[in-house]
Amino acid sequence: MSRTLPSDRSRAAGQPAVPVRTAPYQGLRPFAERDAAYFFGRGTERTILVANLMAARLTLVYGESGVGKSSILRAGVVHHLREHEGDAGLAGESPRLLVVYVKRWAGDPVARLLESVGDEIARALGVSPAEIGTPSSGLAEALARWSTRWNLDLLVILDQFEEYFLYHADEDEDHPEPFATEFTRAVNRADLPVSFLVAIREDALAKLDRFKGRIPKLFENYVRIRHLRASQAEAAIVEPLARFSELSPGEEPWTAEPELVRQVLKGVQVGKVVLSAVGRGVAAEPADGQETDPPIETPYLQMVLTRLWAEEVRRGSRRLRLRTLDELHGPEEIVRTHLFESMDALPPDQQEVAAGVFHHLVTPGGAKIGHTAKDLADYTELPEERVRSLLRALSAPGAPILRTVGARPGQDGEPRYEIFHDVLAPAILGWRADWEARRAAETAAHHKLEERTRRWQRRRVWAGVIVAVVLAATAGEAVRSDRGERAAVAGQAAAERQADQAEATASSANATARVSSRMAYTARADTFCAKGNASVEALGPRPSRVDHPQSFGRWLSNALPIGKRTSLLWHLLPVPRGQPSLGAVVHEYDRGLAAYESAAQALVDGQIEVARLRLLRADLLGERYVTLAGRNGFRDCALALTPPP
Ligand SMILES: Nc1ncnc2c1ncn2[C@@H]1O[C@H](COP(=O)(O)OP(=O)(O)OP(=O)(O)O)[C@@H](O)[C@H]1O
Ligand SMILES: [Mg+2]
């Protein structure tokens, strides 16, 4: 099928106005049609895809998750085709070319596809969708009728096709899936002026077997989208700055230091940043021949650029600088901390909801799946309002962790939530595993505290009994007869009253002594900590964890026993009565030590990626401990777990 690109005077009616951008970079969102001015590096792929779509009945586009398939299709192909609709100048005679883009597969895909085509026709003609109507016939018939009636050639792009299989997994010979049947008929119908482009993630390609016997030339015409190369990604860093500067012509244009560009590209190469659910990261070596122009993970590129740009804006600069990147600890750290920071900023009760909700939004294999707030509340058995408030927080602009997607047909407009991009999935699983570990440690600490309280209470009861017995004996009461028993009871009551009185006196004395006992406790603990700190100093300078991770691991392994000794001595100090917050400080110290211990183990074992994640967590706990200790009046102890600057 060959095509021309006829003019379309009415396109302007539905054309979205060029949006005002607030940032040059796209972040984790795929580029859409309106972002085309900021989309770079994919000129060749766009040309190839447009040519295929125009020339072939069915084109298969595939590529790894996150390589930029949707972005090329929308900001490249769709934008290009729509922009050129006005060029050919054969309106009225040759058919009008109409591009339809579909990416949602939940619910009824046939109805959704027809609705999208109807909307697009309405938009192109400048009429309301109601005027186009909803066809009652099947997909092929409806497309045939519409294309004849409005003199159209249709280019239909079906993106995220892997989700079709996710939502419509079941099919057997007796119950063929309706979309599969309808789509097959439309593709195979030779007289239909419609081309289809199916875009699918590489790992789901095998699922297309469902169509294999039905669409004979299914795998005949395909295009594989590969990762953006460093040379292309360079344009994706520099060019959007120039575009963005055009929005404020009077001001100094935005620029990027060449060395910064080099370092960013180095840090976001494929295989460089690997995040794993259980921290089992690997730093893969680039494949042969890729060193000169290595492949880039564009979602990571976007995360780093977005963070860097925001930081430069905050500092009042108009230049992306290497120094700023270094101060943010480099590209890998930006990606890694992106999610942890966002999650740790949430209040603890929201973190608890998030841990429950994530379990249902990310499969153990790291794939995303969408659910409504109501479904998530049902699955987690948490109050719906708590779940909704979390979902709102995580999908707010500037916090791209979740996003809302369209409702399933018949669900009354209820949106579904899914994780923003698959690249976040491993980090989300990692955060969740970490949250659970923290939760377990807190529960254990809490039980320990409860056990101590119970022991202390038991001691008090025994002390009361002894006091009562001593008092009864000194009153000379014999316990042999009823009379004697009654007297004994009366005597015990008197003894209890006396004991209560004694306790009241003691507690008021305690109240006055509380301040001094608190000071005595912190001072004694500080003595142990001061000794510990001095012993750690004596180990010599702390090696850099970034440049010499294994030496740092060895240093940490030597420092930890000193910390443990300090903890042991500290635990021997009785916590002053009525001051449980003081007792909590040493428990927080233990948690920090335990976190550094597991990081040290990973470092010594040479599991650098695992160790990085654990050190990050340990630093967070360390900071929390230092704040808590300082707030409770400790001096030397507040220096005991100070994370490195
Ligand atoms: N040419 C590009 N330059 C810079 N960033 C890009 C480019 N193409 C895509 N990205 C970014 O890469 C990320 C992934 O893009 P996109 O969603 O288009 O990939 P995809 O292959 O469709 O992913 P999926 O497999 O999840 O559908 C997004 O953050 C997007 O902004
Ligand atoms: Mg996509």
- For 401-449, give the secondary structure using H, E and C: CEEEECCCCCCCCCCEEEECCCCHHHHHHHHHHHHHHHHHHHHHHHHHH
Give the rounded percent of residues in the chain with a pLDDT score beyond 70: 80
Residue 494 pLDDT more than 70?
no
Q: Report pLDDT for 466.
A: 57
- Lowest average pLDDT, out of 66-70, 170-174, 190-194, 617-621, goes to 170-174
For residues 259 and 291, the model is more confident at: 259
Q: Report pLDDT for 288.
A: 44
**For residue 199, how far is its CA from the centre of ligand 2 (angstroms)?**
8
Phi, psi angles (nearest 5°) of residue 337: -85, -15
Q: Considering every ligand atom, which ligand is closest to the CA of 29?
A: 1
User: Measured from the CA of 303, which atom of ligand 1 is nearest?
Assistant: 29
Q: Which of 42, 73, 298 to mutate to test the pocket of ligand 1 (most atoms within 8 A of CB)?
A: 298
Tell me the C-alpha to C-alpha distance, in Å, between residue 472 and each of 139, 393, 490, 503, 506. 97, 65, 10, 18, 21
**For residue 338, how far is its CA from the centre of ligand 1 (angstroms)?**
18
**For residue 29, how far is its CA from the centre of ligand 1 (angstroms)?**
7
Asked if 124 and 96 count as a contact pair (C-beta separation under 8 A), the reply is yes
**For residue 449, how far is its CA from the centre of ligand 2 (angstroms)?**
51
Q: Is the distance from the beta carbon of residue 298 to the nearest atom of ligand 1 less than 6 Å?
A: yes
Residue in 581, 582, 580, 592 with CA at minimum distance from that of residue 524: 582
Q: Is the distance from the beta carbon of residue 201 to the nearest atom of ligand 1 less than 6 Å?
A: yes
In this structure, are strands 152-158 and 319-320 parallel, antiparallel, or unpaired? unpaired
246: left (phi over 0), alpha (psi -120 to 50) or beta: alpha
The average confidence (pLDDT) of the chain is 81
Phi, psi angles (nearest 5°) of residue 62: -140, 160
**For residue 78, how far is its CA from the centre of ligand 2 (angstroms)?**
14
Q: Considering every ligand atom, which ligand is closest to the CA of 75?
A: 1
pLDDT per position as a tens digit, 137-169: 899 999 999 999 888 899 999 999 988 988 887
Residue 254 pLDDT more than 90?
yes
**For residue 195, how far is its CA from the centre of ligand 1 (angstroms)?**
24
Nearest alpha carbon, ligand 1 atom 30: 30
Write down the number of H helices and E strands in the chain.
23, 12
Residue 321 pLDDT more than 90?
yes
Burial 98-114 (b: 16+ CB within 10 A, else e): bbbbbbbbbbbbbebbb
- Rounded average pLDDT over 258-282: 68
How does residue 129 score in pLDDT terms, banded at 50, 70 and 90?
Answer: confident
Asked if 210 and 195 count as a contact pair (C-beta separation under 8 A), the reply is no
Cα separation, 497 vs 225, whole angstroms: 85
Q: Report pLDDT for 300.
A: 85
Give the rounded percent of residues in the chain with a pLDDT score beyond 90: 36
How does residue 94 score in pLDDT terms, banded at 50, 70 and 90?
Answer: low
Residue 110 pLDDT more than 90?
yes
Domain residues of the chain, as ranges?
A: 11-226, 230-338, 346-422, 427-639
User: Measured from the CA of 422, which atom of ligand 1 is nearest?
Assistant: 26
Q: Report pLDDT for 414.
A: 72
**For residue 71, how far is its CA from the centre of ligand 2 (angstroms)?**
7
pLDDT per position as a tens digit, 550-602: 888 888 988 999 998 889 888 888 888 878 888 899 999 999 999 999 888 88
Q: Considering every ligand atom, which ligand is closest to the CA of 28?
A: 1
Q: Report pLDDT for 180.
A: 92
Q: Report pLDDT for 62.
A: 96
Cα separation, 65 vs 545, whole angstroms: 32
Instruction: Provide CB contacts within 8 A for 455, sequence distance 6+.
Output: none
**For residue 70, how far is its CA from the centre of ligand 1 (angstroms)?**
7
Q: Considering every ligand atom, which ligand is closest to the CA of 335?
A: 1
For residues 3 and 137, the model is more confident at: 137
User: Measured from the CA of 225, which atom of ligand 1 is nearest?
Assistant: 21
For the beta carbon of residue 566, count every other beta carbon within 10 angstroms.
Answer: 25
Cα separation, 86 vs 553, whole angstroms: 65
Nearest alpha carbon, ligand 1 atom 15: 68
Q: Considering every ligand atom, which ligand is closest to the CA of 201?
A: 1
Q: Report pLDDT for 18.
A: 52
Cα separation, 240 vs 246, whole angstroms: 10
How does residue 75 score in pLDDT terms, banded at 50, 70 and 90?
Answer: very high
How does residue 287 score in pLDDT terms, banded at 50, 70 and 90?
Answer: very low
Q: Report pLDDT for 117.
A: 94
**For residue 68, how far is its CA from the centre of ligand 1 (angstroms)?**
3
Q: Report pLDDT for 468.
A: 56
Nearest alpha carbon, ligand 1 atom 14: 66
**For residue 420, how far is its CA from the centre of ligand 1 (angstroms)?**
12
CATH number of 11-226: 3.40.50.300
Tokens of 225: 């989208």
For residues 53 and 281, the model is more confident at: 53
Q: Report pLDDT for 446.
A: 78
Nearest alpha carbon, ligand 1 atom 13: 299
Q: Is the distance from the beta carbon of residue 59 to the nearest atom of ligand 1 less than 6 Å?
A: no
**For residue 31, how far is its CA from the centre of ligand 2 (angstroms)?**
10
Q: Is 194 helix (H, G, I), strand (E, B) or coil?
A: strand
Cα separation, 147 vs 327, whole angstroms: 58
How does residue 24 score in pLDDT terms, banded at 50, 70 and 90?
Answer: very high
**For residue 77, how far is its CA from the centre of ligand 1 (angstroms)?**
14
Residue 235 pLDDT more than 90?
yes
* Chain-centre distance for alpha carbon 51: 37
Q: Report pLDDT for 386.
A: 96
Q: Is the distance from the beta carbon of residue 30 to the nearest atom of ligand 1 less than 6 Å?
A: yes
Asked if 369 and 423 count as a contact pair (C-beta separation under 8 A), the reply is no
pLDDT per position as a tens digit, 370-411: 899 999 999 999 999 999 999 988 987 556 688 777 655 555
How does residue 64 score in pLDDT terms, banded at 50, 70 and 90?
Answer: confident
**For residue 101, how far is its CA from the centre of ligand 2 (angstroms)?**
12
Q: Which of 28, 33, 71 to mutate to test the pocket of ligand 1 (most atoms within 8 A of CB)?
A: 71
Q: Report pLDDT for 85.
A: 62
Q: Of 99-113, 323-337, 355-369, where does the model show the most confidence?
A: 99-113
Tokens of 12: 């302007």
E strands present in 222-294: 222-224, 228-229, 255-256
How does residue 196 score in pLDDT terms, banded at 50, 70 and 90?
Answer: very high
**For residue 546, how far is its CA from the centre of ligand 2 (angstroms)?**
35
Q: Of 108-112, 328-332, 440-444, 522-526, where does the model show the most confidence?
A: 108-112
Residue 448 pLDDT more than 60?
yes
Q: Is the distance from the beta carbon of residue 304 to the nearest atom of ligand 1 less than 6 Å?
A: no
Residue 240 pLDDT more than 50?
yes
Q: Is the distance from the beta carbon of residue 228 to the nearest atom of ligand 1 less than 6 Å?
A: yes
Q: Report pLDDT for 615.
A: 87
Q: Is the distance from the beta carbon of residue 26 to the nearest atom of ligand 1 less than 6 Å?
A: yes
User: Measured from the CA of 74, which atom of ligand 1 is nearest?
Assistant: 18
User: Measured from the CA of 41, which atom of ligand 1 is nearest?
Assistant: 1
**For residue 30, how far is its CA from the centre of ligand 1 (angstroms)?**
5
Residue 325 pLDDT more than 90?
yes
Residue in 590, 576, 574 with CA at minimum distance from that of residue 625: 590
Tell me the C-alpha to C-alpha distance, in Å, between residue 289 and each of 42, 265, 286, 292. 21, 17, 8, 7
Residue in 354, 274, 263, 303 with CA at minimum distance from that of residue 612: 274
Asked if 73 and 199 count as a contact pair (C-beta separation under 8 A), the reply is yes
pTM over 0.75: no
Q: Report pLDDT for 136.
A: 78
Q: Return the C-alpha torsion angle 304, 305, 307, 313, nearest 10.
A: 160
Q: Which of 25, 28, 31 to mutate to test the pocket of ligand 1 (most atoms within 8 A of CB)?
A: 31
Q: Is the distance from the beta carbon of residue 65 to the nearest atom of ligand 1 less than 6 Å?
A: yes
Q: Considering every ligand atom, which ligand is closest to the CA of 425?
A: 1
For residues 323 and 133, the model is more confident at: 323
Asked if 76 and 99 count as a contact pair (C-beta separation under 8 A), the reply is no
DSSP state of 33: G
Asked if 566 and 528 count as a contact pair (C-beta separation under 8 A), the reply is yes
Q: Considering every ligand atom, which ligand is closest to the CA of 62?
A: 1
Q: Is the distance from the beta carbon of residue 200 to the nearest atom of ligand 1 less than 6 Å?
A: no
Q: Considering every ligand atom, which ligand is closest to the CA of 366?
A: 1
For residues 196 and 345, the model is more confident at: 196
Q: Is the distance from the beta carbon of residue 302 to the nearest atom of ligand 1 less than 6 Å?
A: yes
Q: Assign a CATH topology to domain 346-422.
A: Arc Repressor Mutant, subunit A (1.10.10)
Q: Is the distance from the beta carbon of residue 28 to the nearest atom of ligand 1 less than 6 Å?
A: yes
Q: Is the distance from the beta carbon of residue 67 to the nearest atom of ligand 1 less than 6 Å?
A: yes
